[in-house]
Structure 1
Amino acid sequence: MFVPTGEIVAAARNAGAGIGAFNVITVEHAEAVVTGAEAAGRPVILQISENAVRFHHGRLAPIATAARCVAEASSVPVGLHLDHVTSDELLDQAAANGFGSVMYDASQRPYEQNLTATADAVRRAHRQGLWVESELGEIGGKDGAHAPGVRTDPDEAATYVAATGVDALAVAVGSSHAMATRTARLDHDLITRLRDAVPVPLVLHGSSGVPDDELIAAVRCGMVKINIGTALNSAFTAAVRQRLDGDTALTDPRKYLAPARDAMAGTVAAALRVLGS
């Protein structure tokens, strides 16, 4: 069933649980995420990033329509989220393409520019009924909030949330994007202080590199929306590689996409069980 992202996140927050948000690149990703969520009996969020839209020749509608159709056929609540949007033109396409939420990303701009741009994006998105997440970046590094060693300051986060009106905030507490190994260690004391400082749900980016015990502790300390992308692609690619290595004459893509989809679904189910534990 298709449900607005904000409702799914609010329900998870009220229950003291984490909600998994998984990046979708192909239709097989969307199918795998929903299959995994159904197996775990947990709600889930499908995320399509600006980079994924670029992969689809800059056309949002085809992949968004496919993902929403998969969501609507699901037996569990599924949200649709447009992720890491930097383009105002893309932001303005979100509501018309069925998205319930967007993550507006001005994190690599200086603080004041981030705040001004995000506040404007929030006003525009809220007029269209969209729930808005943002990321507080440029705290100690030009690479944004997830540069190595960078951490989000609770007082600055509180000021930023009040000034922008965002509905959720992605914070830097020790994870990094595109991690292929699960070795990240999070600052749980900082998560607790951020939870107490801001009135909106906290979001953890780069969660593929975070071990299960760290994710459980992070949710207990106040993290709500947990973004996972690289772990799906790792499972997908490993399954495809194994299938093709085992049969070098194989040409039918269904024969290697099916096990890849199954591998991603297993990854999703396992992660959701951890987040809901």
Structure 2
Amino acid sequence: MPQTPTAELIDEAREKHTAVAAFNVITLEHAEAVAAGAEQAGAPAILQISENAVKFHGGSLAAVTAATAAVARTSSARLALHLDHVVSADLLTAALEAGYGSVMVDASKLGYADNVRATADAVRRGHERGVWIEAELGRVGGKEGEPALDAHTPGVRTDPAEAAAYVAATGVDALAVAVGSSHAMTERTAALDHELIAALRDAVPVPLVLHGSSGVPDAEIRRAVAAGMVKINVGTALNTAFTGAVREYLAAHPTTVDPRKYLVPAREAMAGTVAHFLGLLGG
């Protein structure tokens, strides 16, 4: 099936008061698992490659993009292609030329004025190419080298009034907000600030994005969607399923050297995780 624009999936989800899930892709098996899980659930999904994943692949965007896009084309599910947490200006340029339907530009570590300036420039460049642009205000935290951040830490949560001004100043198409989740959580114990989510939904005209959803319990995700979250990012949960399946297989078959033997159950485990999250959102 032809690649589906991210904006199309997001707009449909907003109209139905549901959400669309975006799953991080690191290896080809990740992309194949997202496609398989989406087909199993009968739901659309977003294939999401991060700047860190690009670095893992030697800093070249071309190969991982081509492989992931090929998976989207050969799947019967409606799949979009998104580049996540882009900090590098060169990578943004490459993404705008590589056929991505959307890009998340991450200037959240900058001060407010610099964040606005950098994001507004990225939005201008993206819109010239017809690319949907997501940005972040507040600090989700938890990425490699960063501490996990609590929703109640001063200066961490996204302020609704500031968010409204930020969206107006930058022209972003979606806003990732800090409401209590954190990247790289391996236990699903995050408690979200649902009143803040509702306040942000009312304050800004663009869809809200929840990063770090792997650490958020099912019931909390459902409540977040009901309160106004439209894009749900999932990464670590796939890696947990992948690594767990590999460990289990190798423990039972310690002499195995053919990676296909353990990558098959790893891919299947990730596909099951994808289908689970999509089932949550579809419900």
Tell me the TM-score normalized by structure 1: 0.96
1:34 matches 2:35: yes
**Distance apart, 1:199 and its partner CA:** 0.3
Residue in structure 1 matched with residue 233 of structure 2 by the alignment: 227
Residue in structure 2 matched with residue 160 of structure 1 by the alignment: 166
Residue in structure 1 matched with residue 6 of structure 2 by the alignment: 5
Residues 95-174 of structure 1 aligned to structure 2 (within 5 Å): 95-137=96-138, 147-148=149-150, 149=153, 150-174=156-180
Deviation by residue 1:94-119 (Cα, 9 ceiling, x = unmatched):
13222100000000111111111111
Runs of 4+ in 1 over 3 A off after TM superposition: 143-146
Residue in structure 2 matched with residue 176 of structure 1 by the alignment: 182
Retained in 1: the 8 A contact 2:86–2:104?
yes
Which range is displaced more, 233-242 or 119-128?
119-128
Deviation by residue 1:104-159 (Cα, 9 ceiling, x = unmatched):
000011111111111111111111111000001369xxx99973232111000000
Tell me the TM-score normalized by structure 2: 0.94
Deviation by residue 1:151-193 (Cα, 9 ceiling, x = unmatched):
1110000000000000000001110111110001111111111
SS in 1 for 2:265: helix
SS in 2 for 1:181: coil
Retained in 2: the 8 A contact 1:107–1:144?
no
**Distance apart, 1:222 and its partner CA:** 0.4
Indicate the RMSD between aligned Cα atoms, in angstroms: 1.5
AA partner of residue 149 (structure 2): A
Note the residue ranges of structure 2 that are not aligned, 5 or more in a row.
Answer: none
State which of 212, 216, 219 in structure 1 corresponds to 2:218: 212
Residue in structure 1 matched with residue 203 of structure 2 by the alignment: 197
Note the residue ranges of structure 1 that are not aligned, 5 or more in a row.
Answer: none
1:63 matches 2:69: no
Deviation by residue 1:177-231 (Cα, 9 ceiling, x = unmatched):
1111000111111111100100000000000000000000100110000000000
Retained in 1: the 8 A contact 2:47–2:82?
yes
SS in 1 for 2:94: coil
Deviation by residue 1:57-82 (Cα, 9 ceiling, x = unmatched):
00101010110111111112100000
Percent of pairs identical after alignment? 63
Retained in 2: the 8 A contact 1:145–1:172?
no
Count of residues in correspondence between the two structures: 274
Retained in 2: the 8 A contact 1:136–1:145?
no
AA partner of residue 23 (structure 2): F
